[in-house]
Every structure is written in structure tokens, then in C-alpha cells.
Structure 1
């Protein structure tokens, strides 16, 4: 049962914070949740909860600083075998475009059911199903890859050469551009200073994230490190990667809020305009990157782990 809907961690003695949170979590029934309020990012708690309780909870940032962090922690209700939005998007790129048009997150939020996804954008399940059904008569534009049919090792190589290299090449360019625009326009548009600072933080997190995938996960997928991890270890690595994906997605959504969906002021210079275009381009690439991993590569990797460990 739910002990409290909102647990204000700032009021708890430091040595009792994590035990108290665990006590509240353990009291939850399937389908119940509670929210923690903290004065710093509680990310270490996520890893402790994952390590000690396993993959039996969901973790959703409702507010991400700078003064307070609010996180919803839930024990999901037992679900039926209906496909998730991530699984649907992985099988048909046209349906992924429908999700994108409706504002449904199918990469970081790919584990949602159709019912949950529909509710998140103010629709009912039947309306969403109708939107998806309408795509069956619409031909795809251009060449579309059937990523779900690819060998996991080949897909990992594709992600490395297309998306990992993109982050490493474009990240520094965007960071330098953000600094330049913040110096030039920051006095008049204070949000640019915050944007530049948070872009640096995001990129640093992403650079470290890529290293972890390339060192721990990709060698296992390609079988060059066969037997190096147990199935449970692979699941924990993937859970950590998915959590970092979620954090990156939250940061990109914060950028949109900060810039009012990248609305340019009347006096925007060419660099200002170029910065916003580059961030939007980066966002599109990163969400596709996360979609390929969360909804296609990671499930395949878990299957590999079950067969080889």
C-alpha cells in the first residue's frame, strides 16, 4: 500500500534517507507509485534500487532542478502481452512517424502500452489505433531500413558508425556555438547562458555514455567478449543505459521548454539561428539513436545473454 504520495527527502536525516525510501517502495502494491522530492539529482538512488531490488520498478523525472528534483517511482501493474509503442515503432517506421506527429515518445518512453501512450497525448486507445491503422494505406517515403531484421552485431556497428560518431563530431561544434551565442546575446536573453551550461553537461554525459556502451555492451553483442557477463549483469547494464537515455531525453525536452521550442527573437543573428537548427538536428538523431537501442538492440542483446550465459 502507498504510505505517502509525496516523500520529501529533504526533511529526512541523511543516514535515514535511503532506508526510508526503500521502505516506502517495498510497501507499494503492483500498479502503485509514490513521488520523492529532493534538492539534488537522486540518480545514485536509482542504481542502488536497481541493484538491490532488480528491474521491478519504473523511474520517471517529473522535475529536474535546478532547485528541486521530483521523481515518480512505481511498481508497474501486470500487463498483458500487447505490444509496446517501442515494439510497434521498431516493426513499422510509418507507425513511428505517427507517434512522432502526435508527440508520443517511442524511444525513451518505448515501454508504454498503447493505452498509456494515448492518455499521455489526450487521446483514447481507439483513436490512437485508428491513427495507426490509417498508415497501412500510406506508402513510405524513400528507402527505409528494416532495423528489426538486422543481426545484432551489424546493428551495433551501424549505431557506432552513424550515431556514436555523429555525437562525437557534432557535440563539440554545438558546444562551441552555444558559448559564442551566449556571449553575444546572453545579456539580453538569459536563457542562452543556461542553455550553454546545460549543453556542456549533456554532452559530457553522452561522451561517457558512448564509452560505456562501446566498452561493455557492444563487445558482448558482437560475441568478442562471450561469457564475460552473466545474464543478470547484462540486464543491469542495459537498465543503466536506458536510464541514461531517459535522462538525456529529459534534458532535450528541457531545452525545448527553455527556448520556447527554439523560437528565435527578432534580432537573432546567423549564429543564433544556426545554433537552434543544430540542436534540433542533434535531437532528431539522438532520439533515433535511442529508439534503435531501447526498442531493437537491447531486447536482442538480452536474448543473446539468455542463450550464451
Structure 2
């Protein structure tokens, strides 16, 4: 099977450095990880030969960190809890605070991301509910290898991941792809730095769940 026929999620898991290429070209490998690379390239208007060449040119020893494919469910879940759940709970309140400050001070600026604080607050509430359901219901089932019984909750989590992806799309629209305007104040620039970090973390978080942890239960 050629790279173009493989799903984006599978490539993200098996080709070291692929997630960096996908980030660069705005290819969704978390919620959109189920589609073939060929289709993903077409959706963003990329030349498929060029994309394949970029992926094949990745250094053999380039890695995105630990090889989570070989980790047990317990190890993977513990990583998701500490690296992503705990991190998101730290990130979002501060991002909301900075967004409100930017809107209060620069609300009359043509590029002010008006509505961003409310969007982030909605994301915070939705994600807190989502993470609690994983922590209290789904993850304990997966730790006990109750894969068949977990398929219903997994379907719900996948749908909610799609909602998170849609929220990230709205975030990009409000912030000009998270690019602060020329002359933006320190808070504005710090906000956008934090938003880029949050977006990258959430994409990787969803990727590990959708394309690895949840697939094991299928």
C-alpha cells in the first residue's frame, strides 16, 4: 500500500516526523485521521507528489517522542491524563483571562478577536465535561480490557472530538490563523503563543485517542 492510500492517522503513527509536515500544511490528522492521504491532500489543495516527497524525505531517526504504539493501555492512558488532561486544565483558564483582557483593551482594533474569550470559555466547559467522562467511565473500562463494552462511549467521544475540531476551526477564523497583528501588545502576543500551544496539544491529544487508544478497542 502506498503512502497516498494509507490513512492520515496511520501515517501520523508510523512515520516519524509526519505530524510536523501535517501541521505545516494544515492537514487534520486527529479528527480527520480516517481519510487516505490522497484525499487529505486534495482537501487542502496540495500536490500529492510534493506531499509524498516531503514525507519520504523525513530523516529516519526523526521522532515525535515516545513510541506509544508499543505502550500498554495503562501507560498510554496515564500519558494522556498527565500530558494532556492536566495541561488543558492549566492552559484554558489563563487563555480565557488573556483573551478577555485583549478584547477589553483593544476591542476597537479592526483585528481584535472579538468573541474569542467566549469561544474559549465554551471550549473549556465542553472539554472539562468530555475529560471527566473519559476519566470516570471510558478509561477505567479500557484499563480493564473491556473493549467491546467500551464501543458506545468511544463513539460518543469521537463525536465530541469532532466538535473540538470544529471549535479549533472557529478559533483560527477569529485569530487570522493565530497570527497577531503588527504592533500587538505583549498580552496579545502571549495569548496567541498560548493558543498555538493549546491547539497543537489538543490535536496531538485527539490523535492519540482516535487513532491509537480507541482503535485498540475496535
TM-score norm. by structure 1 comes to 0.64
| 1:241 corresponds to 2:157 | yes
Report the CA distance between 1:138 and its aligned residue. 4.8
For 2:42 and 2:153, the matched residues in 1 are separated by 30
For 2:130 and 2:13, the matched residues in 1 are separated by 23
Distance change (3 Å), C-alpha of 1:265 and 1:117: closer
Do the aligned residues in 2 keep the contact of 1:185 with 1:192 (CA within 8 Å)?
no
Deviations 1:112-135 (A, max 9, x none): 112211211224544433332222
Distance change (3 Å), C-alpha of 1:114 and 1:188: closer
For 2:110 and 2:154, the matched residues in 1 are separated by 39
Q: Secondary structure at the match of 2:202?
A: helix
For 1:103 and 1:190, the matched residues in 2 are separated by 22
For 1:125 and 1:268, the matched residues in 2 are separated by 37
Do the aligned residues in 1 keep the contact of 2:31 with 2:161 (CA within 8 Å)?
yes
| 1:154 corresponds to 2:75 | yes
Do the aligned residues in 1 keep the contact of 2:7 with 2:33 (CA within 8 Å)?
yes
Deviations 1:231-289 (A, max 9, x none): 2x522211221121121122112211222122323442211111111111111111111
Structure number, greater radius of gyration: 1
Do the aligned residues in 1 keep the contact of 2:80 with 2:205 (CA within 8 Å)?
yes
Do the aligned residues in 1 keep the contact of 2:16 with 2:61 (CA within 8 Å)?
no
Pick from 59, 83, 87 the counterpart of residue 166 of structure 1: 87
Report the CA distance between 1:100 and its aligned residue. 2.3
For 1:281 and 1:161, the matched residues in 2 are separated by 16
Pick from 129, 132, 142 the counterpart of residue 208 of structure 1: 129
Distance change (3 Å), C-alpha of 1:209 and 1:134: same
Relative contact order: is structure 1 or structure 2 higher (C-alpha 8 Å, sep ≥ 6)?
Answer: 2
For 1:125 and 1:273, the matched residues in 2 are separated by 34
Pick from 87, 100, 123 the counterpart of residue 10 of structure 2: 87
For 2:183 and 2:65, the matched residues in 1 are separated by 40
Deviations 1:209-242 (A, max 9, x none): 100111111101111xx66xx82x5222112211
Q: Which has the higher helix share?
A: 2
Higher deviation after alignment, 285-294 or 99-108: 99-108
Do the aligned residues in 1 keep the contact of 2:142 with 2:150 (CA within 8 Å)?
no
For 1:162 and 1:262, the matched residues in 2 are separated by 23
Do the aligned residues in 1 keep the contact of 2:102 with 2:112 (CA within 8 Å)?
no
Give the root-mean-square deviation of aligned CA atoms.
Answer: 2.1
Number of aligned residue pairs: 214
Pick from 129, 138, 148 the counterpart of residue 52 of structure 2: 129
Extract unaligned runs of 5+ from structure 1: 1-81, 303-309
Do the aligned residues in 1 keep the contact of 2:8 with 2:29 (CA within 8 Å)?
yes
| 1:140 corresponds to 2:62 | yes
